[in-house]
Amino acid sequence: MPRSRLAVLLLAAACGKPEAPPPAPAAPSPVAAPAPVTASPLRAIRINGTVLNFRLAGDTGSTVVFVHGSLGTLDDWNSQIAAFARSHRVLVYSRRYHPPNPPQTDQETYSPELHAADLAALLQELGFGQSAVVAAGYGGYVALALAAQHRELVRALVLAEPPVIPFLLRTPAGDSLRRAFLAGVLDPARAALARGDSLGALRTFLDGTGSAVALERLTPPARARLLGNLPEIRRELTADRQQYFPPLDCPRLGGLTMPVLLLQGERSPRMYHIITAELANCLESDTTITVVGAGHDIHATNPAAYNTTVLRFLATH
């Protein structure tokens, strides 16, 4: 017998039966993907003399309510709902006069105070306590009015370029932009409505406010949805201007103690940057962030950066 084989046999005899090799480590269990987040079916509620349509999503964490801007609806926030509902209870709704709310004829003036009263009634009716109010465009005007009138309902504010036009009066450069905005956008749009040119009014308003939407580039369904807002924009543009763009009291804003995040788009019209700077000067507690690559519709033109920025702010305030 070869010596090498004899050595192997003797070693096996001395040590007994050789041990089986250790079992291979079990493959890690696949990590289950998070369940998709979907909003509740559309619901409607009658409050404050009007009907508001809304959706809810998420059932954990603090409440976040999203407030859309001009020509908007609750669907404006479709790129935010899932991201925020993973850690918050989310409320999206359409403001008075905006689709899919039923058409309404009343004697009210389209104003931040009116919409703030509606939002306060909605939050109270749903039994929501202090909420983070995340707003875009004219919705930011509404959020500021809500915070001033109902501080008990607002835990934090996130405002993306509210068109507080009176703030432009605070500097010569701002006043120049204000006059150009009135003469080049609001007055022509209002005149177009007066002569029955609704499409011309809509186009003028969209182009002049820095919207990323262009009528000519919209798909037919998207164009139809936007045209569904014509009754609403008619109410806006024909509202008394002092009530539509009310002055905000800077000392009163300075008394707001909740944290405030001010967002501005890198590509937004300059007047919004001036308004944001003036608003920051009035507020006691604020953070201002410019979102790279975004225009006036920040949540739509760069939703990934918008969601990350706002969620980080809410998690730390």
Q: What are the tens digits of pLDDT across the range 119-163?
A: 999 999 999 989 999 999 999 999 999 999 999 999 999 999 999
> What whole-number distance in Å separates Cα of residue 88 and Cα of residue 81?
10
Give the DSSP H or E segment for 315. Answer: helix 303-316
pLDDT recorded at residue 101: 96
Residue 26 pLDDT exceeds 50: no
Q: What is the rounded average pLDDT of the residues 55-81?
A: 96
Strands 131-136 and 63-67, bridge-based pairing = parallel
The torsion angles phi and psi of 306, rounded to 5 degrees, stand at -60, -50
| 257 in Cβ contact with 284 (< 8 Å) | yes
pLDDT recorded at residue 12: 34
Residue 228 pLDDT exceeds 90: no
Residue 3 pLDDT exceeds 50: no
Q: Specify the pTM.
A: 0.87
| 309 in Cβ contact with 85 (< 8 Å) | no
Pull the structure tokens for residue 254: 């300075």
- Fill in the DSSP letter of residue 310: H
Q: What is the rounded average pLDDT of the residues 103-121?
A: 96
Q: pLDDT-based confidence at 275, cuts 50/70/90? A: very high
CATH 3.40.50.1820 fits 43-170+247-316, yes or no: yes
> What whole-number distance in Å separates Cα of residue 29 and Cα of residue 7?
44
